[in-house]
Amino acid sequence: MNTADYSSAAQSALYPPIQPYDTGMLTVSERHRIYYEQCGNPNGQPALSLHGGPGGGSDPKHRRFFDPQHYRIILFDQRGCGRSVPAAELRENTTWHLVEDIGRLRQHLGVTQQMLVFGGSWGSTLALALAETHPEWVSALVLRGVFTLRRRELEWFYEGGGADHIYADAWERFLEVIPPAERHKRQGNAPGVSDLMGAYYRRLTSDDPAVRLAAARAWSTWEAATSHLRSDPDAIAKYSKDRFAEGFARIECHYFVHGGFFERDGWLLEEAQCARIRHLPCVIVQGRYDIVCPFETAWLLKKRLPDAEFFLVEDAGHSAHEPGIEKQLLAATDRLRGL
């Protein structure tokens, strides 16, 4: 394991801003059309960037983790979020629909080479799901803030399983939307266990727009408030905007209450699944103080993939834009040029 310690005052390590040379909308079902873009070198090594959430949408900064002289950088907004339409749509929206969409996008763009697949948080989940089911599409993996939707991970962050103790002030604001009587599911006469995700899901799927929006803002800002080692007001402002919050919160909660639509809890980390990608070059970058996707999951993945490079950034939280994490991710894509 390699460790890294970078001052939070360091300048951004990313490549300069660039504009896409190609954008479009791809019809992936009778209901959904997804936005995509290509940047960098049209004849370069394909690199697919998978955004977080689910429901977060791509961001211009995501283009900047790759050398634009070398890489053909492909980004897209997953179903229901970003510039994809219809916004915040939950029907026909599962992990496996997204994997199929990547196949359609490869075909539409004429990508015949294997792709470097890059993703953090939910993006790491989708990257693993893609690689474990279609390893022939993948040349290498770069994963940050590893997340596999195990029940243990979800309870840590959304059910009062630990993150609430570290961000007690933000947690109180997260709880305010849900009446005390709805915070637990009853088991006979026992107090029951926490079911905050279920209570949120009822609100986020309500027919009342005001109810949906109040829940969406609370859900979204809870994540924004906890994603950086030092609070980032700009991130909180972005996540609290109505359109972003509703798509982000609805889609995240939809995926989480359904366990990521995986066959079993912990499916992505099972020995048989990980064996399918053990031959792939893999870089894992993890912030020591990542509250959203704690260190444990990345460490378990490293144990399943013993040849993977593992970089622990000692003074970082969850965000890809923590200075130390930016540097490690950029170094990874630079090292992987020429695969």
The CA–CA distances, whole Å, from 330 to 5, 112, 158, 326 equal 15, 25, 31, 6
Let me know: does 90 contact 61? Beta carbons within 8 Å.
no
Residue 144 phi/psi, 5° resolution?
A: -135, 140
334 catalytic? Reply is: no
121 catalytic, yes or no? Answer: yes
List the one residue out of 50, 45, 49 whose CA is nearest residue 72.
45
Find the catalytic residue in 32, 318, 319, 321.
Answer: 318
Strands (E), the chain: 2-4, 22-27, 33-40, 45-50, 71-76, 115-120, 138-144, 184-187, 190-194, 282-287, 309-313
Is there a catalytic annotation at residue 12? no
Catalytic-role residue among 67, 195, 232, 290: 290
Residues 81 and 100: their CA atoms lie apart, in Å, by: 17
Q: Which residue has the tokens 């992987």?
A: 336
Catalytic residue among 84, 121, 220, 227: 121
Which active-site residues does the annotation give? 121, 290, 318
